[in-house]
Chains A and B, each alone.
Chain A
Amino acid sequence: MTVTQLQALIGAGKAVENHRPVPRAIVSESTWREAIGALAAERCSLLGLWATPGTVHMAVCEGSEIGVLSLDCADGHFPSVGARHPPAIRLERAIADLTGLEAAGAQDVRPWLDHGKWGVRRPLGDRIETDGPPPPYPFLTAEGAGLHQIPVGPVHAGVIEPGHFRFTANGETVVRLEERLGYAHKGIEALMAGADLERAAKLAGRVSGDSTVAYALAFARAVEAATDCDVPPRALYLRALMAELERIANHLGDIGAICNDAAFAIMLAHCAVLRERVLRFAADAFGHRLMMDRIVPGGVGTDLGAEDVTALRGLIKTIRRDFPRLVQLYDRTASLQDRTVGTGHLRPELARRFAPGGFVGRSAGRSFDARMTVAYPPYDALEFAVPTRAEGDVNARVWVRIEEVEQSLGIIEQILASLPAGDLIRDIPARGGEGLALVEGFRGEVLAWVRLSDDGTLAHCHLRDPSWFQWPLLEAVIEDNIVADFPLCNKSFNCSYSGHDL
């Protein structure tokens, strides 16, 4: 058997015990640079880059293999990943803002999450008190005759999350878009440190409200990996059921909202009705519309009764009846197709380099899906396909969503057919360890990494939203499109602000 690049990199370092289920190794600076080379050559893709005090960690994926490389930064510096592999740039800026560890050789050293309004710098590092007005933020420049800037946000006219977009336009054509995020920073990592599991699970479920199931699941799986704890089979299936319901609800909402941005409000109205049915079922069956706090480390905190199963079968029947008609309406409305086809085209080479998850990657030929690639239970026992498209435009992102809804309905039917009986939850033993989990949310894969202290409380928890690798691509796809098409592109990406800002 040949040794993969990732195995070689891990093998070159000192393996860390008690890191499950994937290996973690403390590597030398030269191995770290080799890893950067492998990323830049696109032999591996970056899953995450984060820091604990004095150490940076890089999660890398090659095929279905995942590993974590850690580098101790004795002098507060580490060789920049972003200098050779652009997807890491914002992660490095966030590391510098939060911990003060600096990427040596990075070209972009502007702050990212820190807007100078926290009253403290490097809150996870040496905590320097600050006061006074925040320093000005230099935006990237674009110069030329006839260019003008359009600042949008952070407060928007619609009820959406805060984020600033700086357009440089030549008439109607966008020359450059620069995002500025961080307005929704909540200090999740600092709040997690020292928290007990119950509180930490609640925090994880609140990182991004629309993905609360995915986050709770990722966190729970990471904790279970760290403590080597098994989950009852019934809980595994109920977790998958909730995750698929969340996916269906969000995709339905997105499909309608994308059409609404092209002023085709009737799609939104009909999709919203279906989405509402899903949410109401969740409220009836699980006691919360978004199923928040229903997944906890060790299992699930709720059960599915016999009458809920009947209601769920009815819900699936309703969606299977109504949804195809909406898909037909979308597909046959020429004026709508005129807006979505060819708009916001994501080049496949960018999709390969940034390795975005979810519909963004899958609309441009990248078929990564944590449910399939990592195949965490119960998905290893379920039949489903990962829909992919090659076009990379808004239409492709809508179609990936449409097909994923259909796949998720099939998954739920399989879950109902094979739902095992038994316990719902098992106690998490109070022991130390480290765990990593990758869970497919509706946007893409959520990465959770936890380090537990020996008393079972959290020493560190890092949650990486799929949006980290999608936001930069939004800047790329809008170039040479017209300003008025930005809302359509943005909605088809539907990146999380809160999940990204942590």
Chain B
Amino acid sequence: MAVTLDFIIQAFQMVLVLALAPLLTGLVRKLKTRLQRRQGPSIIQPYRDLIRLARKEVVLAETASWLFRATPYLVFATTWVAAALVPTFATGLIFSWSADLIAIIAFLATARFFLALAGMDVGTSFGGIGSSREVMIASLAEPAMIMIVFTLALVAGSTQLSIVAEVFATSGVGLRVSLGLALLALIMVAIAENGRIPIDNPATHLELTMVHEAMVLEYSGRHLALIELAASLKLLLYISLIGCLFLPWRLAPAGAGIEAMAIALGIYLVKLAVGGTLLALFETVIAKMRVFRVPDFLGAGLMLGLLATLLLFVTRSL
């Protein structure tokens, strides 16, 4: 019976991230347009877009190989699994043993690898530009992410998200310089990984400036729907990750009652809304940076991560 319940809760979490992801994207878009004194589309527009795209015919380039057709499913599946592994409202779920930070990074890297290949598959120049820029960004964002993981693991003694979150929530880790640096680095990586301003502009129509959008320029119909959904999931994943690592309070522990679960769920929704609002604010007050400035930005993220790790080697109390 307990196992069944665990399965149900785990399944609920998986469906929850999938259902919430477009809403978060819609919220960020709506807030951004309101900040620009515009009306903007409805907050549920991303759902309508996904339904519309899913109904549409897929237009494939003549030069597209099986890789191009398989990539959307692969990207969606890996991103979904990664997003579902991050503790959203509860820790100690039945699959938590697999919710390892390194595994999540690996899932996302796999998705990116295939998307970059698919970008080049058709042979258009924009896909190539997008892939090359994406890989350049990734080559700097991934080491920074690894450094962040090291920092967290050194403090918590584990790379499993559930355990890290529990340690941070309960054992009085307190304010630490190293964790502050890691949080800053994680935010920078999250911005770069999700292709947000100032690294990339998800709303642009200028082919020459795109990164993520250039890679997926050739996709249409249900393929595009899957990729858009995966992008939304990734944004949700990073906000959830920051929430569960750095604001881990009131996460429902294993075997918690329905009431605790409901409170934790409510708090999770608040975390998402706050994260989305901050993102919209940040994107409104800053312009996109030159492509060649991106290494500086991510280099700073990498250095912060490195500094956080080194501090912990110097003294365990920082």
A→B interface (CB under 8 Å): 148-152, 156-158, 171-172, 259, 261-266, 268-270, 273, 333, 335-336, 338-339, 482-487
Cross-chain contact of B206 among A149, A266, A268, A487 (Cβ < 8 A): A487
Q: Within B196-221, which residues are at the interface with A (CB < 8 Å)?
A: 197-198, 201, 203-209
A-B contact pairs, 22 of them (CB 8 A): A150-B208, A151-B125, A152-B207, A156-B205, A263-B198, A263-B203, A263-B287, A264-B287, A264-B288, A266-B36, A268-B36, A270-B37, A333-B285, A335-B287, A338-B289, A338-B290, A338-B293, A339-B287, A339-B288, A339-B290, A485-B290, A486-B208
Instruction: Report whether A339 and B206 are in contact in the complex, using a CB–CB cutoff of 8 Å.
Output: no
Q: Return A322 CB to nearest CB of chain B, in Å.
A: 12
A172, B32: Cα distance in complex, Å = 30
Q: Return B122 CB to nearest CB of chain A, in Å.
A: 14
Instruction: Report whether B284 and A263 are in contact in the complex, using a CB–CB cutoff of 8 Å.
Output: no
Instruction: Report whether A483 and B208 are in contact in the complex, using a CB–CB cutoff of 8 Å.
Output: yes
Instruction: Report whether B125 and A263 are in contact in the complex, using a CB–CB cutoff of 8 Å.
Output: no
Q: Give chain B residues whose Cβ lies under 8 Å from the Cβ of A482.
A: 290-292
Q: Residue-by-residue, is B260-301 near A (CB-CB < 8 Å gives 1, otherwise 0)?
A: 000000000000000000000000111111111100000000
Q: Give chain B residues whose Cβ lies under 8 Å from the Cβ of A264.
A: 286-288
A394, B227: Cα distance in complex, Å = 35
Instruction: Report whether B198 and A335 are in contact in the complex, using a CB–CB cutoff of 8 Å.
Output: yes
A485, B292: Cα distance in complex, Å = 11
A263, B283: Cα distance in complex, Å = 9
Cross-chain contact of A263 among B36, B129, B197 (Cβ < 8 A): B197
Q: Closest B residue to A333 by CB, please name it.
A: B287
Q: Give chain B residues whose Cβ lies under 8 Å from the Cβ of A172.
A: 291-292
Cross-chain contact of A269 among B38, B125, B290, B292 (Cβ < 8 A): B38
Q: Give chain B residues whose Cβ lies under 8 Å from the Cβ of A336.
A: 287
Q: Return A173 CB to nearest CB of chain B, in Å.
A: 9
Interface size on B, residues (CB 8 A): 30
Q: Return A170 CB to nearest CB of chain B, in Å.
A: 12
Is B35 engaged at the interface, CB distance under 8 Å to the other chain?
yes
Q: Give chain B residues whose Cβ lies under 8 Å from the Cβ of A270.
A: 36-37
B→A interface (CB under 8 Å): 32, 35-38, 125-126, 128-129, 132, 197-198, 201, 203-209, 284-293
Cross-chain contact of B125 among A148, A156, A158, A339 (Cβ < 8 A): A148
Q: Return B30 CB to nearest CB of chain A, in Å.
A: 14
Q: Return A313 CB to nearest CB of chain B, in Å.
A: 24
Q: Closest B residue to A481 by CB, please name it.
A: B290
Instruction: Report whether A265 and B125 are in contact in the complex, using a CB–CB cutoff of 8 Å.
Output: no
A240, B151: Cα distance in complex, Å = 67
- Contact A484/B208 with A149-B125, A150-B125, A273-B37 known, Cβ cut-off 8 Å: yes
Cross-chain contact of B35 among A261, A266, A273, A484 (Cβ < 8 A): A266
Cross-chain contact of B287 among A156, A157, A259 (Cβ < 8 A): A259
Instruction: Report whether B206 and A157 are in contact in the complex, using a CB–CB cutoff of 8 Å.
Output: yes
A149, B129: Cα distance in complex, Å = 11
Q: Give chain A residues whose Cβ lies under 8 Å from the Cβ of B287.
A: 259, 262-264, 333, 335-336, 338-339
Instruction: Report whether B201 and A263 are in contact in the complex, using a CB–CB cutoff of 8 Å.
Output: yes
Q: Closest B residue to A340 by CB, please name it.
A: B287
Instruction: Report whether B293 and A157 are in contact in the complex, using a CB–CB cutoff of 8 Å.
Output: no
A241, B51: Cα distance in complex, Å = 50
Q: Closest A residue to B132 by CB, please name it.
A: A171
Q: Give chain A residues whose Cβ lies under 8 Å from the Cβ of B132.
A: 171
Cross-chain contact of B286 among A151, A157, A335, A484 (Cβ < 8 A): A335
Q: Give the residue among A262, A265, A273 with the most B Cβ atoms within 10 A.
A: A265
Q: Give chain A residues whose Cβ lies under 8 Å from the Cβ of B35.
A: 266
A148, B132: Cα distance in complex, Å = 13
Q: Give chain A residues whose Cβ lies under 8 Å from the Cβ of B288.
A: 262-264, 335, 339
Q: Give the residue among A263, A336, A339, A486 with the most B Cβ atoms within 10 A.
A: A263
Instruction: Report whether A265 and B208 are in contact in the complex, using a CB–CB cutoff of 8 Å.
Output: no
Q: Return B21 CB to nearest CB of chain A, in Å.
A: 23
Instruction: Report whether A158 and B292 are in contact in the complex, using a CB–CB cutoff of 8 Å.
Output: no
Cross-chain contact of A261 among B126, B206, B289 (Cβ < 8 A): B206
Q: Give chain B residues whose Cβ lies under 8 Å from the Cβ of A157.
A: 205-207
Q: Closest B residue to A172 by CB, please name it.
A: B291
A229, B166: Cα distance in complex, Å = 89
Q: Return B119 CB to nearest CB of chain A, in Å.
A: 14
